Amino acid sequence: MQLKVIKADGSQEQYLHTKVIAAFVNAFDAPEEQDTSTARQLAETVTFYLYNNHPTNKITSNEILSIIQAVLSSTGYDDAAANLAEHHNKRNLLRSRIEIKKYDVHKICDSLKLRQAITESEPIKWNKSRIVNDIIDEYDLDNTTARVIASMVEEKILNSGLRCVSTSFIRFLVVLQTQAILSAQQQMKPDDKKTAFAVKNHALTEERLRQPQNGLCPVEV
């Protein structure tokens, strides 16, 4: 059974064990070796629980977040659970405040036209999945790569403190980050064997966690 994750915007993506590890690392807010090791162990517990106790092959991202928080609290990491909740709520708040305006800044020559464009343009709420779909359609990239690029664009906008952004500005960031990702992929080509090994190792880890195992106890949630 391959688990599917339903995102907050209704889109679906493949469950990734590595994203759960990242969530635990972020919760500890101190990526030291000890915390990373603990994050991996706790992430294995979550993945094992989902594949062996969840009644369907679909789960929402909020459900996964609740399970991660429950695991942290039940293992004595209450501060980390609070950090994760605060980080999640802060990002959702920032996303909700962002408005997108449909106008091209290159075609606006003076302040009067800029004010007119901002006033006349209907605001659009932030939706990362729309950017993902646009990247896939325009650049013919796989879903995983498109999501990485969209996440990088989102991170830059959230950290900028901007509350209103134009579609042309988002497009500029998409092109910039796509170039960076494609360039990185080109440089990594000589290490294809290592990349293939990492992908295979990730798949084997998830496959192992789907099977009942001795010594790994399900977590009460």
CA atoms within 13 A on the CB side of 38: 19
Are the C-beta atoms of residues 94 and 158 closer than 8 Å to each other? yes
Element spanning 5, H or E? strand 4-6
- pLDDT value of position 190: 57
**Can you give the pTM of this predicted structure?**
0.67
- pLDDT value of position 166: 86
Q: Higher-confidence residue: 50 or 212?
A: 50
Q: What are phi and psi of 166, to 5 degrees?
A: -90, 155
Under the banding of pLDDT at 50, 70 and 90, the label for residue 217 is very low
Q: What is the mean pLDDT of the chain?
A: 81
C-alpha pair distances (Å), 211 with each of 19, 48, 89: 20, 8, 33
What's the chain's Rg over C-alpha atoms? 20
Region 175-198: what's the mean pLDDT?
75
- pLDDT value of position 64: 95
Instruction: Please check the confidence at residue 119 and state whether its pLDDT lies above 70.
Output: no
- pLDDT value of position 30: 64
Under the banding of pLDDT at 50, 70 and 90, the label for residue 208 is low
Q: What is the pLDDT of residues 180-191, one digit of tens each?
A: 998 888 887 655
Under the banding of pLDDT at 50, 70 and 90, the label for residue 172 is very high
Q: Where are the domains of the chain?
A: 4-94, 98-187
Which among 44, 53, 52 has a CA at the least distance from the CA of 18?
44
- pLDDT value of position 220: 45
Instruction: Please check the confidence at residue 211 and state whether its pLDDT lies above 90.
Output: no
SS (H, E, C) 155-195: HHHHHHCCCEEEHHHHHHHHHHHHHHHHHHHHHCHHHHHHH
- pLDDT value of position 170: 93
- pLDDT value of position 213: 46
- pLDDT value of position 188: 72
Q: Which residue has the tokens 């500005």?
A: 169
- pLDDT value of position 33: 53
Q: What are phi and psi of 167, to 5 degrees?
A: -65, -35
